[in-house]
């Protein structure tokens, strides 16, 4: 009921902060080091200036778009997030069901807490994608890919901005472990969030993709599992091992995007991992036009980082993105109210997108272009 009353994603963020234990909320809400990239990514959307056309018939404002050869209901993709069952016990299944209901893709992470088959069973009619982190054990990568492909996932998103773990200082300060454990300060948290802890302690164990004997802190786990030696050559290896479409996520320079397009990847995601990896890395929205130009239509260009509203989606698409991935936005909804919270986020994005298209005089997502939006200096 309370999620239905949320007027925007920020309201859901406030609700999430009340519902989830501080260390869980901070794992989602936080970013690397000084959190400069995160702040800039969000702030960049405030620099958007729209140039609306008037006196256009905007009684219809269709939001459907085609990406990777398939139609989706609006240019939004639910991006991969690790440990989603830590945010709410309904976890990946709830997110995949909400995506299916909204007619947009959902991406399961390698660090997910539900196996690909579980996601496929929860959302059999959804367009379910898989995100790969290349791990040191090469055979394991292939096993993971075949699990995804057997579950019907036909789009692979290879994330390349985590050669090593970023420094998420909020997690360090909380002593966050995966799964979360109750420590001295945590005991106080349990008193404050009894429902969350009860849910959490009675749900199935979190692990799907982690390794036995791994350290419990996230950075330690990441550095133990992930392969920092990955290069463009490995991408060709993945391309040959994967039967479906291939996207590369975490592209942060126009020249890298160009090289990837030349390699024949189906898409690149301009992203700095929501500011969770290299702090002060380039701001996706600002970088987007140069990447679109460099790629020159050879691959589809996606964007993520800081997308919190339908108007943000409209701005990114106008500046050349095929669609936006979202991360925190849906996780705030999930923490605030489980599946209904994710539904609410997608409703808010859709309503905001339609309204923006109408107010812009754009007559649908297809009418968006760089003449309708510019980025102010401040
Ligand atoms: C992420 N992100 C992420 N990306 C990825 O490729 N694999 C993963 O497992 C995760 N895990 C993850 C966990 C959490 C809690 C967050 C917030 C993010 C990054 C994510 O896919 C996306 O790039 C960012 O979230 C985009 O920024 P916004 O939308 O959160 O501002």
Task: Check pocket membership of 193 for ligand 1, CB cut-off 6 A.
Answer: no
The C-alpha atoms of residue 41 and residue 273 are separated, in whole angstroms, by 11
The C-alpha atoms of residue 313 and residue 326 are separated, in whole angstroms, by 10
The C-alpha atoms of residue 349 and residue 8 are separated, in whole angstroms, by 9
Task: Check pocket membership of 111 for ligand 1, CB cut-off 6 A.
Answer: yes
Mutate to test the pocket of ligand 1, among 26, 99, 178, 327 (most ligand atoms within 8 A of CB): 327
pLDDT digits (tens, 9 = 90+) for 198-215: 887 787 777 666 666 677
Which ligand 1 atom sits closest to the C-alpha of 271? 23
The C-alpha atoms of residue 19 and residue 5 are separated, in whole angstroms, by 16
Tens-level pLDDT at each residue, the chain (378 residues): 699 999 999 999 999 999 999 999 999 999 999 999 999 999 999 999 999 999 999 999 999 999 999 999 999 999 999 999 999 999 999 999 999 999 999 999 999 999 999 999 999 999 999 999 999 999 999 999 999 999 999 999 999 999 999 999 999 999 988 877 766 666 777 788 888 888 877 877 776 666 666 777 889 989 999 999 999 999 999 999 999 999 999 999 999 999 999 999 999 999 999 999 999 999 999 999 999 999 999 999 999 999 999 999 999 999 999 999 999 999 999 999 999 999 999 999 999 999 999 999 998 999 999 999 999 998
The C-alpha atoms of residue 258 and residue 282 are separated, in whole angstroms, by 17
Q: Which residue has the tokens 């901005």?
A: 161
- ipTM confidence: 0.99
Retrieve residue 331's tokens.
């996780």
Which ligand 1 atom sits closest to the C-alpha of 29? 17
The C-alpha atoms of residue 60 and residue 357 are separated, in whole angstroms, by 9
Task: Check pocket membership of 368 for ligand 1, CB cut-off 6 A.
Answer: no
pLDDT digits (tens, 9 = 90+) for 125-151: 999 999 999 999 999 999 999 999 999
Task: Check pocket membership of 85 for ligand 1, CB cut-off 6 A.
Answer: no
**Which residue's CA lies nearest to atom 5 of ligand 1?**
80
Retrieve residue 28's tokens.
């989602």
Task: Check pocket membership of 328 for ligand 1, CB cut-off 6 A.
Answer: yes
Which ligand 1 atom sits closest to the C-alpha of 249? 6
The C-alpha atoms of residue 77 and residue 85 are separated, in whole angstroms, by 19
**How far does residue 55's CA lie from ligand 1's centre (Å)?**
40
Residue 228: Cβ within 10 Å count? 10
Catalytic residues: 273
Distance of alpha carbon 302 from the chain centroid: 11
């Amino acid at each position: 009921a309370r999620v239905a009353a949320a007027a925007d994603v920020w309201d859901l963020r406030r609700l999430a902060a009340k519902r989830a234990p501080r260390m869980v909320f901070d794992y989602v809400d936080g970013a690397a080091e000084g959190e400069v990239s995160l702040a800039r990514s969000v702030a960049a959307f405030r620099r958007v200036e729209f140039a609306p056309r008037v006196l256009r018939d905007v009684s219809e404002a269709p939001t459907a778009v085609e990406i990777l050869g398939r139609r989706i209901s609006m240019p939004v993709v639910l991006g991969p997030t690790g440990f989603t069952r830590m945010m709410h016990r309904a976890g990946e299944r709830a997110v995949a069901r909400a995506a299916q209901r909204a007619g947009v893709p959902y991406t399961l992470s390698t660090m997910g807490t539900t196996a690909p088959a579980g996601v496929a069973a929860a959302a059999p009619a959804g367009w379910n994608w898989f995100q790969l982190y290349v791990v040191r054990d090469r055979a394991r990568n292939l096993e993971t890919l075949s699990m995804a492909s057997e579950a019907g996932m036909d789009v692979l998103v290879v994330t390349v901005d985590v050669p090593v773990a970023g420094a998420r200082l909020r997690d360090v300060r909380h002593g966050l472990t995966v799964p979360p454990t109750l420590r001295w300060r945590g005991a106080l948290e349990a008193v404050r969030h009894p429902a969350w802890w009860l849910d959490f302690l009675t749900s199935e164990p979190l692990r799907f993709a982690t390794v036995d004997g791994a350290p419990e802190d996230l950075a330690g786990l990441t550095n133990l599992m992930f392969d920092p030696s990955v290069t463009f050559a490995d991408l060709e290896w993945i391309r040959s091992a994967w039967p479906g479409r291939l996207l590369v996520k975490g592209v942060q320079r126009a020249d890298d995007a160009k090289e990837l397009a030349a390699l024949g990847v189906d898409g690149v995601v301009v992203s700095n991992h929501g500011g969770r990896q290299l702090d002060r890395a380039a701001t996706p929205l600002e970088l987007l036009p140069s990447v679109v130009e460099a790629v020159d239509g050879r691959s589809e260009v996606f964007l993520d980082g800081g997308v919190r509203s339908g108007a943000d989606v409209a701005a990114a698409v106008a500046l050349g993105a095929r669609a936006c991935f979202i991360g925190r936005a849906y996780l705030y909804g999930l923490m605030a109210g489980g599946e209904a919270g994710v539904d609410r986020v997608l409703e808010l994005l859709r309503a905001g997108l339609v309204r923006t298209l109408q107010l812009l005089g754009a007559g649908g997502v297809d009418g968006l272009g760089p003449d309708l939006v510019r980025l102010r200096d401040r």
